[in-house]
């Protein structure tokens, strides 16, 4: 049974007309819900709105807290679910109870900023052809979490410019897109209900992607509105990634051949916009024949006026980036344009600073391109510059193990560094919050360091779990897998191979990489953050729990 603490407008002393309903699904994490509500109340522009909070059976006292907030604030309307019904169902329940002309779906792990709601609703109010409006989301350190969503050439949705500076020029223009994030998105209530609401078949992922595709198919426009600015901590709800493979399969089954692969289009569109506006300053462009001279090993490449073709081969080629002079206190934006003949290509950018050792993991950036035309964007902060000059010690590693790659241009731009406080710290509570988050981040880094030491001890102790001739597999080909590999006694423990769902590389650390399969008598070490989903997958292909060893940072 659904327990709803929703009363009539007269009893609540609320206005008879509600312009906007803010719907927030919650499950535990009361700390974030409290901060979210405080920021909404601090930036309340009018009284003609309500906040509908749908609690999915929280166990941390969230329901009691919401009931108390509702008594003190008549515009807050909690709905308490006795069981966890998931994100989509909670949002739909909130929409059914909402009375506003506009519906704004908001995650509980966000902070809103000045005029956020007015700016978010402006596109919907000004144009009946616009069906969805989405906000710009920053992490608490001022870097970009969401600036619209693009679809890669393989159809997978992703957040462009993620972790780029909050003032990155390509994230500045308001743009008509195919998708925006469900962390903060607005609809007209009538259209949301008419087009079927959120699909409850998804489990805490891709509900936003699916409804955006449905609105586009119905002829509505979707607008990314960067002036509606929020701070988003992202994925704070427990179990957020437990059904990742299921949700991806459902998305592609539901939209076969109908997902718009728009990554290249929007990169080029926004680049043209910001160059015309002067927000991005061009510095240098390397044409194909110039790129050939930057290769450390040019064997096997063919340069022409149009492109530099790198033939498919095992391993990678390395492109030494040139010296580029930039204005002081500016970020350097690097854009590599390429055409892939098949599959996908991993690009790794390494660079050093005056005080960092070369190939430091913290100074490594990775980007994937897929079959067809694509652009790989990278941003280097001012700390990477010496005497106002990008000193040529950066390298770009291009993996050719799966496809030939044709490079058509490498462009360098700059844009000014902006203090984070000018982006969203407009109120004293927000500044205090930022300082609190900074302290939390430092404490988390200390815990992670201690956790690594504890993990090293556990790995060493776990050596005794493995019989001398027992086949061993590591599930994962990331930094954690590499780190565990260093901790294992490889003289006694012989690894057979690595498992990887994406199988993005043929070998890792000299051993074969394959998609998960059952190996008779093998022991599997899980080296991934998605341990619950991986354990379930391993069970499905025949592994017992006593064959699985799990390590987490």
Which CATH number goes with the domain that contains 249?
Answer: 3.90.550.10
Q: How far apart are CA 416 and CA 423, in angstroms?
A: 13
Domain residues for the domain of 396 are: 280-416
For residue 532 the two structure tokens come to 């619950």
Same domain, 158 and 226: yes
Dihedral in degrees, nearest 10, Cα atoms 517, 523, 528, 534 = 50
Global confidence as pTM: 0.75
Same domain, 207 and 304: no
- pLDDT at position 392 is 46
Q: How far apart are CA 387 and CA 325, in angstroms?
A: 9
- pLDDT at position 146 is 95
Q: How far apart are CA 82 and CA 413, in angstroms?
A: 54
Other CB atoms within 10 Å distance of the CB of residue 406: 19
pLDDT along the chain (553 residues), means of 10: 44 68 94 92 85 95 93 94 94 96 96 94 97 94 91 94 90 95 97 95 94 97 96 68 83 95 93 90 92 86 92 90 78 93 90 46 77 93 50 80 94 81 48 57 65 66 69 80 70 73 69 85 81 84 86 63
User: Quick check: is 426 in a domain?
Assistant: no
Q: Could you tell me the CATH number of the domain that includes residue 325? A: 2.60.120.260
Same domain, 128 and 204: yes
Decide which of 401, 416, 431 is a domain's last residue. Answer: 416
- pLDDT at position 239 is 55
Same domain, 155 and 246: yes
User: Quick check: is 183 in a domain?
Assistant: yes
Segments in 98-145 forming alpha helices (H): 116-126
How many domains does the chain divide into? Answer: 3
301-303 and 330-350 beta bridge pairing: unpaired
């Amino acid at each position: 049974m659904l327990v709803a603490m929703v009363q009539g407008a007269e009893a609540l002393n609320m206005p008879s007309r509600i312009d906007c309903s803010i719907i927030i699904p919650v499950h535990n994490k009361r700390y974030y819900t409290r901060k979210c509500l405080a920021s909404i109340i601090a930036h309340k522009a009018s009284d003609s709105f309500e906040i509908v909070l749908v609690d999915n059976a929280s166990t941390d006292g969230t329901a009691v807290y919401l009931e108390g907030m509702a008594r003190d604030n008549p515009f807050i309307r909690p709905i308490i679910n006795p069981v966890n019904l998931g994100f989509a169902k909670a949002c739909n329940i909130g929409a059914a109870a909402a009375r506003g002309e506009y519906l704004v779906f908001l995650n509980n792990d966000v902070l809103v900023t000045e005029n956020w709601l007015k700016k978010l609703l402006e596109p919907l109010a000004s144009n009946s052809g616009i069906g969805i409006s989405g906000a710009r989301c920053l992490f608490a350190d001022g870097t970009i979490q969401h600036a619209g969503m693009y679809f890669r050439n393989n159809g997978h949705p992703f957040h462009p410019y993620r972790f780029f500076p909050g003032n990155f020029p390509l994230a500045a223009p308001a743009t008509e897109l195919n998708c925006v994030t469900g962390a903060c998105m607005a609809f007209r209530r009538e259209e949301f209900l008419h087009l079927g609401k959120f699909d409850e078949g998804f489990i805490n992922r891709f509900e936003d992607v699916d409804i955006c595709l449905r609105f586009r198919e119905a002829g509505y426009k979707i607008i990314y509105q960067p002036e509606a600015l929020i701070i988003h901590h992202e994925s704070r709800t427990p179990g957020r990634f437990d059904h990742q493979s299921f949700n991806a399969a459902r998305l592609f089954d539901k939209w076969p051949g109908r997902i718009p692969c728009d990554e290249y289009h929007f990169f080029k569109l926004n680049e043209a916009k910001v160059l015309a506006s002067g927000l991005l300053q061009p510095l240098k462009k390397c044409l194909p024949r110039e790129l050939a001279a930057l290769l450390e090993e040019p064997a096997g490449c063919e340069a022409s006026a149009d492109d530099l073709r790198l033939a498919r081969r095992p391993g990678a080629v390395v492109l030494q980036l040139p010296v580029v002079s930039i204005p002081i206190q500016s970020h350097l934006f690097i854009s590599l344009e390429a055409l892939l003949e098949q599959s996908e290509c991993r690009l790794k950018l390494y660079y050093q600073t005056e005080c960092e050792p070369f190939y430091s993991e913290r100074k490594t950036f990775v980007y994937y391109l897929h079959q067809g035309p694509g652009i790989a964007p990278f941003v280097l902060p001012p700390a990477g510059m010496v005497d106002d000059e990008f000193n040529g010690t950066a390298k770009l590693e291009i993996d050719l193990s799966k496809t030939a790659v044709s490079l058509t241009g490498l462009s360098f731009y700059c844009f000014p560094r902006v203090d984070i406080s000018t982006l969203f710290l407009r109120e004293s509570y927000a500044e205090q919050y930022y300082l609190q988050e900074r302290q939390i981040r430092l404490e988390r880094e200390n815990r992670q360091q201690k956790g690594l030491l504890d993990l090293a001890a556990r790995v060493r102790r776990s050596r005794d779990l493995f019989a001398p001739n027992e086949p061993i597999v590591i599930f994962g080909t990331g930094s954690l897998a590499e780190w565990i590999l260093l901790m294992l006694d490889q003289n006694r423990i012989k690894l057979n191979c690595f498992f990887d769902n994406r199988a993005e590389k043929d070998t890792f650390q000299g051993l074969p990489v394959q998609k998960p399969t059952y190996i008779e008598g093998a022991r599997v070490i899980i080296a991934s953050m998605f341990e619950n989903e991986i354990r379930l997958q391993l069970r499905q292909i025949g592994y017992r729990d006593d064959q699985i060893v799990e390590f987490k940072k």
